[in-house]
Structures are given as structure tokens and as C-alpha cells.
Structure 1
Amino acid sequence: MNRRTTLITGATQGLGRGIALDLAARGGTLLLHGRDQARLDAVAAEVRAAAPDTEVRTYLADLSDLDQVHAMAAQVRAAEPRLDVLVNNAVAGGGAEPLRRELSRQGHELRFAVNHLAPYALTRGLLPLLTASAPARVVNVASIGQEAVDFDDVMLERGYEGLRAYCRSKLALITATFELAAELDGTGVTVNALHPAHLMDTDGVRAYGLTPLVGIDEGVRPTVRLATDPDLASTTGRYFDRFTDSRAHEQAYDAEARRRLMELTHRLIGRSGPES
């Protein structure tokens, strides 16, 4: 583990910060992403203080803007000699005003954009680096909260509610996990998704008005396991409920739904291949 380079999105608070501090103690290089420079600098300083031998570099990008997602992928490809693990952790939760429908920079429903389009676009943009560094891993932080995507109203223009949008976006992320894992089979790059823990003590959970049930550490452990456990080196295309290999929502296994989602996803991110 100590020579690995790991990129964590959404590393400035909550689960992302917890993952960063855990991995820092294991050595190697950490690439921390955030959308606020001051908070990014603060968590980088905290990680360096906790683990002085760990290299830390930061990347600033707003993942609700696909142009910034593509630019960040290009920056990482240009600056980093290798990438062993990508943890797609950044999230838009149900929101403090769940009936207010928000849009991304490109005009897509915000949760779908941040929780699905951004991690997929970032992963595709980093595939050249990941495959060159293989064996490598992609860990997508999803949720046990999953709801089928309505292909007649993907952007939830009717009956909008933030938690519903969140659950649909997380199922889209899991579905894309399965598709990408199948595509990358044999390359040495694994792709898995997980539900880290139920109602962790995060700003997002509190903002929606829910009462946290467990601490951040409960979600850190299963996420770090997917990123580091040697026994999972060849495990790919799976969804874990914490530590348990589990079955996701049925739509994730529907071939036609998967085809439609990926066709739409490629069109919306404006990219179609790992080399772009």
C-alpha cells in the first residue's frame, strides 16, 4: 500500500476527510479533491500533520460543472506519474430544501450530475492513467437508497424531491459501475460500488433533516477495505452493503435499462471513450 497514489473526491469533509486521514496513516501519495480552496488547504494541512511522510497534493474543481470535471482529469493525467486508486466520494445529498429542483452548470438535474455524471466522466478521463498503473481500483461510493431511473423523466422535471433524485442518481452510479467493470475486464482495473454506512454523521444527512445514526468511521472502514484489501484485488463489478457483497436494485441488472442509461450518459458527458 505505501507506494500507492489515491485520489479521493469530496475530501474536505465527512466521509472523504475520514478516508483521507485513514489512508494517510498507510503512507503513499494522496490526491485530495474539493471545490473550496480554503477547506481543501485545511484538510491537506490536517493530513500532512497527521502523517508527515505521506505526500499530499490537491485538486480544485466543482463537480457540478462537467467542464471542470474534464479539466481536472486532464490536470491529474498531466501532473501525476501514476494513479492506483480512485475513490469517487463527492456527493450532492437530498438538500436542505428538498422540493427545490437545482441544476448543474450544463443544465442537468444537480444530483444526477454530481452523483453520476461527474464520477463517470472523471473515471473515463483518468482511465489512461489507471490502466497504465494497473493493478488499479475504482471505488464508487453509492448508497443503499436506490430508486429506478425513469427514462421518460430522467431529470425529474415532474414531482421533484431531493432524496428521490439522490436515490435515482446513486442507482445510476451503481449501474455504470457494472458497465465499466465489464468493459475493463482483463485490464487490471477493477470497479466496485458500495453503501458505506447508514445515516452517517455528515453535513448532508443533517441538512436534509435526518438524525445521524453512526459516526464517520463506520463508513470509512468498508470504503478503505475496497480500496486496499489484497483479497479484493480481482473483485470487480460488485455492489457491497458495507462489507457484504450484495444485490443492488433490480434495474441495475436490466440489460435494456443499462443500455439506455449508458447511451444517455455518454451523450451528456460529451465523451465516448477512455482516451478522450
Structure 2
Amino acid sequence: METTDRTVLITGATSGLGRAVAESVAQRPGRLILHGRDAERLNELATELSSAKASIELVTAELDELSQVHDLVDKVFELTDHLDVLVNNAGIGKGATDTRQESADGFELRTAVNHLAPFVLSLRLLPLLETGAPSRIVNVASGAQQPLDFEDPQVEHNYTGDRAYGQSKFVMIATGFFLANKLPAEVVTVNSLHPATLMPTRMVEEGYGHTVDDLATGVDAVLHLIESEALESVTGQYFSGQQRAEAHPQAYDPDVQQRLWKLTEELTGVQL
């Protein structure tokens, strides 16, 4: 997938895993569209990558507000006529405390950023991904998965950061499986991964205070899903690192997937 015409969009590119992946992908020819919340930090990253082989484009948006997610989509359509890879990397960890937070739209914050935003991006950017076929959607999820309580989807009761984070990643994976079944693998593949365990990122430091794997392990795992020729027609899979693995069993339940998809369509107002 290394061509001068390749266009890759990475969300959450100004820090942690997203930044490290961006730095690596920038060394390949093509176009790299980098998203971040803060324009100043994006510009600093672009300066750092000024000698890279890829041409760099920058887009800013707060992913906890759906109107800004839609604005981000519009900006990407202005920048390119196709996408080869969408990396849904931006996310929020479990947090330092078990204090429930809401997004600008009134959704539970981790649900909004970790699931609703990438859902909207994936569906609304499908025309660009289809034009760039064969293309790939890479969902940066987690091994920390908890099934959604359909009676309390916004985690309004018995809230913990672990529960909110785990549910958001579970739903990301399960709806990714659902989307993969709707799209021809030769056109767009959709795969999710747990990149590595407790990498040295700000998110991990805030939530856990210690690390396990190094950042390079996570970068290699994401690059594997972006670039491996062996995965050209592989879709609807969950990876732990670079190996295929099993997500939470309920993520494979067709009824659960259907309910989660319908709920997400209702929350976002976006349909396939």
C-alpha cells in the first residue's frame, strides 16, 4: 500500500500512539491528513515532519461534539478526492477518577469520543474510501472491553471510568464487525485492534500510573493493519498486537451488533 497517491487520515495525531504512527507513516510517500484538537500542536507536528516524504495536511476538531465531527468530514472532502486508510485512533482513557463526564452534545464523554465520533467518520467518509479502493478502516480499540448495558447505555448509574471506557471500546469493535459485513472486502476492510498494553502515553499515565509495553509495539501493530499486504482482503477481525485474536464473545453476537448499530444510528443521526 505504499504509493505516491496513498492518502491516510489519522485522528488524534498530536500525542501518544497517534503521533508515533503519524511520524512513521510520514516517512512513506503519499498524502497524510492529521487530525488534532489543538491547532498549535498540529502545527508543531507539521514542522517536525517538514522533511518527511509524505505531504502533510492538518485538520482540527473536537470529537466530543458531533457538529465538529461533521465539519471535519467536510474538511477532508475539501482536501482529497479519495482515502486509502482511515485510522480511528483518537480516544479518551478511563480517566484519573470515576467522575462521569458528558460531551458537548450531552452524551457520556467516552462513548462520544471513542465510539460515536469514529462511527460518524467511518460512515460519512465511505465515499472517499470507496473511491480509494481497496481501502482500510483501522479502529484503535482496546483489550479492555465490557458489553453495553442497553438499559443504561450512557452509564448514568454505577459509573466507573473502567466501565465507560470498556463499553466504548466494546461497541466500537462490535459495530466494526457489523460494518465489515456490509462492505465488500475488496472495496473497504474494517478491522479493530488492541495495539499494546499500557503504553507510555498520557492517557495511560493518567489512568494507571505505570506502563507495560513500549510505544513501538503499538506502532508496529497499527502499521501492520495499515500496510500489511497479507491483510489486503481481511476484514471484520480483531487483533491483539499483530496477531488475530478474540474480542469479547458478545461482540460477535448478530443480535447485539444489530441493536448497537441501531442505537448508534439513533444517537448520531447518521445511517449507512
* TM-score, scaled relative to structure 1: 0.95
SS in structure 2 opposite 1:48? coil
Do the aligned partners of 1:131 and 1:187 also contact (CA within 8 Å) in 2?
no
> Secondary structure of 1:193's match?
strand
Matches within 5 A, 1:1-276: 1-3=2-4, 4-49=6-51, 51=52, 53-97=53-97, 99-186=98-185, 188-273=187-272
Paired letter, 2:161: G
Count of residues in Structure 1 that have an aligned counterpart in Structure 2: 270
SS at structure 1 position matched to 2:50? helix
**Equivalent-residue separation in structure 2 for 1:186 and 1:167 (angstroms):** 28
Displaced runs of 4+ in structure 1, greater than 2 A? none
Query: Deviation digits for residues 181-200 of structure 1, max 9, x if unmatched?
Result: 11112551100000000000
Deviations, residues 91-129 of structure 1 (Å, cap 9, x unaligned)? 1111122x1100011111000110011001011110000
Q: CA deviation at 1:78?
A: 2.5
What TM-score do you get using the length of structure 2 for normalisation?
A: 0.97
Distance in structure 2 (CA, Å) of the matches to 1:36 and 1:149 = 31
State the alpha-carbon separation in 1 of the partners of residues 45 and 260 from structure 2: 35
Distance 1:94 1:227 in 2: 26
CA distance in 1, matches of 2:240, 2:185: 25
CA distance in 1, matches of 2:253, 2:185: 23
Deviations 1:218-254 (A, max 9, x none): 1000101100111111000000011111111011011
Task: Give identity over the alignment, percent.
Answer: 45
Deviation at 1:24, TM superposition (A): 1.0
For the residue of structure 1 that corresponds to 2:193, the secondary structure is: strand
